A and B are shown apart, each in its own frame.
Chain A
Amino acid sequence: MSDQPLAPGDEPVVIELRVEEVRMLRTLGEQLRQRLQGPPDRVVQRLFPQVVRDDAALDRDARRLIHDDLMRERLARLEDVLGLLPDDGAATVGLVDDQPQLLMGLLNDLRLSLAVSVGLDQPVEERAEPDEATEQAAALMDWLAWWQERILRSIDPDALRFYEEESDLSA
């Protein structure tokens, strides 16, 4: 990837994870790995969406072109991030180089996977009445979102500025 660095300071981004947080990240990561390596389901379809609009043949070719690269990236990102964590127990991790970005991407994959698995990726008006599984998934998504924005505060605080300045975010 030729991503451009943001705030490439030398200071590591330090995150402290409680024992249950480490366990949950490992559990969700393992579930994601199984989905990525299993037969395509709705989660995989969401993570590898349409590429070209209005041209099915071109879309098929383009997806084929980028699918393997994207799959490798996703699996490598998963392994790299889980490799930062202890097998069990609490952890204090100093993220350096591209590690904060890798963690951001993985946390987002986990949020998307949870959302799709319980239908929270659908428009609000089309969702079923929330059940226990949906509420659990939503709580985990909130936890992952908290971590995403905690990391953003370190690597790109400007990305959070609109929260303070936009008074009306409704559609």
Chain B
Amino acid sequence: MPTAPAEAPVVDPGVTTGDEVTTEGPWDVIVWDDPVNLMSYVVWVFRKIFGFTEPVARKLMLDVHKRGKALVASEPREQAELYVQQLHGYGLQATMERSR
């Protein structure tokens, strides 16, 4: 399993809702290999959505290409959903799952 890049957004372990604090942990956003999307396009999408530097975006793209997947963010659920939605909007195969 690839590790999250140093530039990945900071994880917020809990969400405050009034007096309650949920204890749900972060969700991992994972991008899966796809034989159609161009490698350059994937680098661009990573840079555009996450603001990664080119070396970080390239490393993650190559993880996807060579290992079949890459962990691109670990975030509270709502933010993870937003990232997955943006990635799907650009045609990347991305899923989210609870961090382990």
Contacts and interface: CB of A to CB of B under 8 A. Distances in A.
A159 B89 contact: no
State which size class the interface on A falls in: 35 or more
Contacts of A135: none
A70 B88 contact: yes
Given A66-B84, A112-B91, A124-B35, A6 B49 contact: no
A10 interface: no
Interface string B32-67: 001111111101100111110010011001100110
A50 interface: yes
Contacts of B41: 104, 108, 148, 152, 159
A163 B40 contact: yes
A52 B36 contact: no
B91 A105 contact: yes
A6 to B, nearest CB: 6
6 contacts: A52-B95, A104-B41, A108-B41, A155-B44, A158-B54, A169-B62
